Amino acid sequence: MHVGQICTTETIFCERDETIQGAALLMRRNHVGDLVVVDQPDGERVPVGILTDRDIVVSVIALGLDPASLLVGDVMSDDLLTCSEADDVYETIERMRQRAIRRVPVVNAAGGLTGIVSVDDLLEFLAEEMGELARIGPHQQSHEKRARH
């Protein structure tokens, strides 16, 4: 299975020159806890960072800084892990585990943002896979009964 098949494609994003307050309002309006930060060279949204609600709390609010005067580029995490739409889900899980990252922007062949894959997306995928495995036992017994009669 490829990451592009399970990622969230309606990704909320902003640019690094957005204020922290503007980013927080964008999160609130869209009911999300993170924003992918993009640059837009030639109109392609290229991920350059990620800003989480936790980043805002720990790096701005807890320090008593003014969210209206700070920019997303000042606070975002820029050590960004991305994955391709064609990347294998299990390899992506391993890369996320190694870096202790919960969300990964998904990009197309040109490096443009096409989605985001989160731990929640991956857990849902794995739960479905486990459900399919759980159906093997009863199906096997039914198949065996038919074969013996």
Tens place of pLDDT for every residue, the chain, 149 residues? 999 999 999 999 999 999 999 999 999 999 999 999 999 988 899 999 999 999 999 999 999 999 999 999 999 998 999 999 999 999 999 999 999 999 999 999 999 999 999 999 999 999 988 888 888 776 566 666 677 76
Task: Indicate the pTM of the whole model.
Answer: 0.84
Long-range contacts (CB closer than 8 Å, 24 or more residues apart) made by 21-25 = 21/67, 21/68, 23/51, 23/56, 23/72, 24/53, 24/56, 24/67
Q: Are strands 34-39 and 46-52 parallel, antiparallel or unpaired?
A: antiparallel
CA-nearest of 66, 53, 8 to 27 is 53
Query: Would you state the structure tokens that stand for residue 135, as one six-digit string?
Result: 């159906």
In this predicted structure, what is the pLDDT of residue 135?
82
> Residue 88, Cα to own-chain centre: how many angstroms?
15
CA-nearest of 143, 149, 140, 115 to 34 is 115
In this predicted structure, what is the pLDDT of residue 84?
97
Query: Would you state the structure tokens that stand for residue 58, as one six-digit string?
Result: 């720990």
Query: Would you state the structure tokens that stand for residue 14, as one six-digit string?
Result: 């902003």
Q: Does domain 3-118 have CATH number 3.40.50.1980?
A: no
Q: Where are the domains of the chain?
A: 3-118
